[in-house]
Protein backbone atom coordinates (compact mmCIF):
# COMPACT_ATOMS: atom_id res chain seq x y z
CA UNK A 1 0.00 0.00 0.00
CA UNK A 2 1.41 3.42 -0.93
CA UNK A 3 1.65 6.22 1.59
CA UNK A 4 -0.94 8.95 0.89
CA UNK A 5 0.43 12.35 -0.16
CA UNK A 6 0.42 14.85 2.69
CA UNK A 7 -0.63 18.37 1.76
CA UNK A 8 0.15 19.90 5.15
CA UNK A 9 2.35 22.95 5.59
CA UNK A 10 3.50 22.60 9.17
CA UNK A 11 5.20 25.10 11.43
CA UNK A 12 8.47 23.14 11.13
CA UNK A 13 8.52 23.81 7.38
CA UNK A 14 8.48 27.61 7.75
CA UNK A 15 11.75 29.41 7.15
CA UNK A 16 12.16 31.62 10.23
CA UNK A 17 15.84 31.64 11.18
CA UNK A 18 17.37 35.07 10.50
CA UNK A 19 20.79 33.45 10.03
CA UNK A 20 19.43 30.97 7.46
CA UNK A 21 17.61 33.74 5.57
CA UNK A 22 20.74 35.93 5.39
CA UNK A 23 22.80 32.96 4.17
CA UNK A 24 20.10 32.18 1.60
CA UNK A 25 20.27 35.69 0.10
CA UNK A 26 24.10 35.77 0.15
CA UNK A 27 24.85 32.32 -1.28
CA UNK A 28 21.58 31.03 -2.76
CA UNK A 29 20.81 30.27 -6.39
CA UNK A 30 17.67 31.58 -8.04
CA UNK A 31 14.99 30.59 -10.54
CA UNK A 32 12.85 33.30 -12.14
CA UNK A 33 9.34 32.97 -13.52
CA UNK A 34 7.92 36.48 -13.54
CA UNK A 35 6.50 37.71 -11.17
CA UNK A 36 7.87 35.10 -8.78
CA UNK A 37 11.54 34.55 -8.03
CA UNK A 38 12.71 31.52 -6.07
CA UNK A 39 15.96 31.64 -4.12
CA UNK A 40 17.19 28.30 -2.79
CA UNK A 41 20.17 26.86 -0.97
CA UNK A 42 20.91 23.37 0.30
CA UNK A 43 21.13 23.11 4.08
CA UNK A 44 24.40 22.48 5.86
CA UNK A 45 22.81 21.36 9.14
CA UNK A 46 20.02 18.86 8.55
CA UNK A 47 16.92 18.87 10.76
CA UNK A 48 14.80 16.10 9.15
CA UNK A 49 12.55 18.60 7.34
CA UNK A 50 13.14 18.36 3.56
CA UNK A 51 12.09 21.96 2.77
CA UNK A 52 12.04 25.16 4.80
CA UNK A 53 9.98 27.73 2.90
CA UNK A 54 9.32 31.47 3.16
CA UNK A 55 7.45 34.11 1.16
CA UNK A 56 8.27 37.78 0.67
CA UNK A 57 6.04 40.43 -0.90
CA UNK A 58 7.87 43.79 -0.90
CA UNK A 59 6.05 46.81 0.48
CA UNK A 60 7.65 48.85 -2.31
CA UNK A 61 5.67 46.90 -4.95
CA UNK A 62 2.38 46.22 -3.10
CA UNK A 63 1.51 49.11 -0.80
CA UNK A 64 -1.50 47.80 1.13
CA UNK A 65 -0.91 45.11 3.77
CA UNK A 66 -4.27 43.54 2.90
CA UNK A 67 -3.08 42.93 -0.65
CA UNK A 68 0.37 41.69 0.45
CA UNK A 69 -1.32 39.17 2.74
CA UNK A 70 -3.66 38.08 -0.05
CA UNK A 71 -0.71 37.38 -2.33
CA UNK A 72 1.14 35.52 0.43
CA UNK A 73 -1.92 33.31 1.04
CA UNK A 74 -2.22 32.53 -2.67
CA UNK A 75 1.48 31.71 -3.04
CA UNK A 76 1.49 29.58 0.13
CA UNK A 77 -1.58 27.62 -0.99
CA UNK A 78 -0.21 27.02 -4.49
CA UNK A 79 3.11 25.87 -3.00
CA UNK A 80 1.38 23.64 -0.44
CA UNK A 81 -0.64 21.81 -3.10
CA UNK A 82 2.22 21.37 -5.58
CA UNK A 83 5.37 20.64 -3.54
CA UNK A 84 4.96 16.85 -3.01
CA UNK A 85 7.04 15.86 -6.09
CA UNK A 86 9.91 18.06 -4.95
CA UNK A 87 9.70 16.66 -1.41
CA UNK A 88 9.86 13.05 -2.61
CA UNK A 89 12.87 13.85 -4.85
CA UNK A 90 14.67 15.50 -1.91
CA UNK A 91 13.90 12.55 0.37
CA UNK A 92 15.20 10.09 -2.25
CA UNK A 93 18.45 12.06 -2.56
CA UNK A 94 18.64 12.65 1.22
CA UNK A 95 18.96 16.40 0.76
CA UNK A 96 17.35 19.32 2.56
CA UNK A 97 16.76 22.79 1.16
CA UNK A 98 15.91 26.33 2.29
CA UNK A 99 13.90 28.38 -0.17
CA UNK A 100 12.22 31.77 -0.37
CA UNK A 101 9.73 33.01 -2.97
CA UNK A 102 9.71 36.71 -3.74
CA UNK A 103 6.73 38.27 -5.50
CA UNK A 104 7.93 41.12 -7.72
CA UNK A 105 4.94 42.47 -9.63
CA UNK A 106 2.85 45.52 -8.86
CA UNK A 107 -0.31 43.77 -10.10
CA UNK A 108 -2.21 41.24 -8.03
CA UNK A 109 -2.44 38.05 -10.08
CA UNK A 110 -5.24 35.53 -9.73
CA UNK A 111 -4.65 32.30 -7.84
CA UNK A 112 -4.70 30.31 -11.09
CA UNK A 113 -1.91 32.43 -12.64
CA UNK A 114 0.20 32.22 -9.47
CA UNK A 115 -0.28 28.46 -9.29
CA UNK A 116 0.89 28.02 -12.91
CA UNK A 117 4.05 30.05 -12.23
CA UNK A 118 4.80 28.07 -9.05
CA UNK A 119 4.32 24.74 -10.86
CA UNK A 120 6.89 25.82 -13.45
CA UNK A 121 9.35 26.99 -10.76
CA UNK A 122 9.01 23.81 -8.69
CA UNK A 123 9.44 21.56 -11.73
CA UNK A 124 12.56 23.49 -12.79
CA UNK A 125 13.96 23.18 -9.27
CA UNK A 126 13.17 19.44 -9.18
CA UNK A 127 14.97 19.00 -12.51
CA UNK A 128 17.98 20.95 -11.22
CA UNK A 129 18.50 18.54 -8.30
Domain coordinates in residue numbering, the chain: 15-128
Predicted local distance difference test score (pLDDT) of residue 11: 85
Q: How far apart are CA 70 and CA 27, in angstroms?
A: 29
Measured over the CA atoms of residue 102, residue 128, residue 119 and residue 90, the dihedral's sign is: negative
Q: What is the predicted pLDDT for the residue at 47?
A: 81
Buried b (16+ CB within 10 A) or exposed e, 18-35: eebbeebeeebeebeeeb
pLDDT for the residue numbered 117: 94
pLDDT of residue 2: 57
Question: pLDDT value at position 10?
Answer: 80
- pLDDT, one tens digit per residue, over 99-114 is 999 999 999 999 999 9
CATH class of 15-128: alpha beta
Low-confidence stretches of the chain (pLDDT < 70) are 1-5
Amino acid sequence: MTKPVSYKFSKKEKLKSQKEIELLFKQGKSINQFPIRLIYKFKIEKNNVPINFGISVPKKKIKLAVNRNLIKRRVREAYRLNNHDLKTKLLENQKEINMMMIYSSEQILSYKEIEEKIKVILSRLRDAL
